[in-house]
Amino acid sequence: MALFAAPIAEQIWDMKYRLKDPTGQPVDATVEDTWRRVARDLARVEADPAMWEDRFQAALRDFRFLPAGRILAGAGTGRSVTLFNCFVMGTIRDSMAGIFDALKEAALTMQQGGGIGYDFSTLRPRGAAVQGVAADASGPLSFMDVWDSMCRTIMSAGSRRGAMMATMRCDHPDIADFIAAKQDSTRLRMFNLSVLVTDAFMQAVREDASWDLVFGGQVFRTVRAGDLWDQIMRATYDYAEPGVIFIDRINQQNNLHYAETISATNPCGEQPLPPYGACLLGSVNLARLVGDPFTPQARLDMAELDDLVRVAVRMMDNVVDVSRFPLPEQAAEAQAKRRIGLGVTGLADALLMLGLRYGSPDAVDWTRAVTRAIARSAYLASADLAREKGAFPLFDRDAFLASAFMGRMDADVREAVARHGIRNALLTSIAPTGTISLYAGNVSSGIEPVFAPAYTRRVLQKDGSVTHEEVVDYAVRLWRDLHGEAPFPDHFVNAQTLAPQDHVAMQAAAQEWVDSSISKTINCPPDISFDAFKDVYLLAWDLGCKGCTTYRPNDVTGSVLSVGEASRPEPPASGTGLSMAEPLGRPATLEGATYKLRWPVSEHAIYITINDVVQDGRRRPFEIFINSKNMEHFAWTVALTRMISAVFRRGGDVSFVVEELKAVFDPRGGAWMEGRYVPSILAAIGGVIERHMIAIGFLAAEGLGLKSDPRADLADDTERPLGPACPNCGQYGMRMNEGCMICPSCGHSKCG
């Protein structure tokens, strides 16, 4: 197979990981240059940099080891970015100063490209007394809104918006509001939400017992545990959130149980972390390690796996020393514990090559054996590093060996750790690998099943024409290379055909030998009953998972990518649904309204006039005029007037204009307006247009506009996948995978 096994792989590399100068000219001429750049940077802390540079590059070659995207994009560039993917921030102190200190730290972290996680359980509930000011607390949800506004304004490194995770304990008095928060389609869109579920709560659910909601030692009220559990389940059944984190299990299994208490995770959940903890991620590509695929002799090369894991551990350990950190507290935490998260990708493809059906008992046993082998190799490699470079500073031999995870480890590994210590407190994690899996040739992502054998990707060419590419799963492409169009064997299953129990079984098998956690989405059919849906979570609990995230396509959350649909679906409509082929003609007289917009950092106000036309009995925007006495605004206001008016006159649902404008942020900073943070003057104009559309009945409420132009993808009758439109490329087909919405067309991913 070619170096880039699919055109999308090269496009992802060029767009996300290839080093370019400030003018956009490539510095990395080939992907080998990218590998060399990364290898050289991570080897510079070694006593023999030249030798380790060669070994590191060999691990990267052929996409066998895949460091996380921030490492590929940032290592060796000289840019002031962090190579760590995500952080859990410090504990939020329950005071106004503490809250806004934490908000500032979050902004600084996201500015450098890090996603963040927070536990909001430390904030007093809504209605609780605030001493000294004769007022009641507004509650944690109100401050989460402030975080959400902040996140909207900050574009993290690599053109990727920041992602956030918010957690809340199942015994917090505001837990019901937390569970229901994202059922409002305009609220907390930058957050993933997860409930911290304790062992005591699960026991109360099983026993149909009562459950106290407590803060600061005070019982605010008592509920039935089963009712609260049903609220969580009903919300995720209908809205795909919140997720569930089994927090006591996480702390009991933690190698650092003696040195930290965990109450939050990074945005996708694969890294439960203490305050100021950071996740450093990388994945071994199992699909590249299978010899003689699709034959009776097919096998995973265990010797190559062992060597690759050992080199990867050393590379990732070096990242701790070469990376920048947004905050000194994060650097100190990383240096004190040196935790890394080495995982896998391409597991489902490897199963296909080996003749194993995903979710079958044989596949479950194989997954358990491979993750155990990886854990053994990683822990032995880290013990060797401790002998050479020293153990992590907070290493306590007796306490470390007494952890539940180390209690399962083989005797020779425990002996090595007892003798030499260990360099990294935690070593394994299975992270979302959506984009790097595309970069590696569209291998199956993480431990997820193959989503679909193939799909069609629409590609806009430089001359404006459109071509269509077939994007084929890595293992499927290999099958075709070897067997042509021969029918697929029976074990060629995908996410559309698997039962939820198959997903859970695979997650639990991997979790047994992953010391951190796993990012995985359990796909459920849309017609699954509510009781059967709840059983999925109970099964995850019973089998030892540390958390559970499901996705059930429905009218509220939308559908994941569908394959093979013969008819083209209509785009979602939030406005009038009208669609005209020709621009509307202008009547002699129009009704409209003029709005005065005072941008706080501008000398003069902006006046926005929007005129409407009545079409088929409905009122809709027809034209806009934007005026200001500030001559600095003249050129762009004229251009914006002409462009938006031209779009309005096309007809159809033009509400996407609102969302496009509201998404624009100014790197110089936005402004607070009417109690909310607006990221730019263009976003403020978008808000005015939105309010006008609501006033005339074109939009039902704030935040309900289309996210992209619905006509942009209707130029021909080509079959198109179902699913939400991508905010980056505009194509439909976004799918939920490993806790993230991922675009199969351009590789854009959004967590939150």
Round to whole Å and give the CA distance between 431 and 281.
7
DSSP string, 9-60: HHHHIIIIIS-B-TTS-BS--SHHHHHHHHHHHHHTTSSSHHHHHHHHHHHH
CA 226 to chain centre: 30
Round to whole Å and give the CA distance between 515 and 461.
45
Helices then strands, counting H and E runs in the chain, come out as 24, 32
Token pair 């490329």 is found at 729
Specify whether the CB–CB gap between 558 and 239 falls below 8 A: no
Round to whole Å and give the CA distance between 624 and 645.
6
Question: What phi and psi, each to the nearest 5 degrees, are found at residue 451?
Answer: -75, -45
Q: For the chain, give the number of residues.
A: 752
Round to whole Å and give the CA distance between 126 and 692.
33
Distances (CA, A) of 330 to 88, 116, 275: 9, 12, 9
Q: Which of 347, 335, 334, 283 is nearest to 312 (CA)?
A: 283
What is the end-to-end Cα distance of the chain in Å, rounded?
36
- Three-class DSSP category at 264: strand
Q: Catalytic: which of 192, 266, 611, 737?
A: 266
Burial of 12 (0-12, 13-18, 19+ CB in 10 A): buried
Active site residue 548: no
Token reading at 582: 């020709």
Q: Catalytic: which of 241, 260, 270, 690?
A: 270
Give the type of residue at 179.
I
Token reading at 123: 């904030």
Active site residue 254: no
Q: Catalytic: which of 86, 151, 268, 751?
A: 268
Question: What phi and psi, each to the nearest 5 degrees, are found at residue 565?
Answer: -70, 130
- Three-class DSSP category at 97: helix
Active site residue 415: no
Count other C-beta atoms under 10 Å from residue 569's C-beta. 13
CA atoms within 13 A on the CB side of 682: 19
CA atoms within 13 A on the CB side of 113: 21
Token reading at 388: 């050479």
| Catalytic residue set | 266, 268, 270
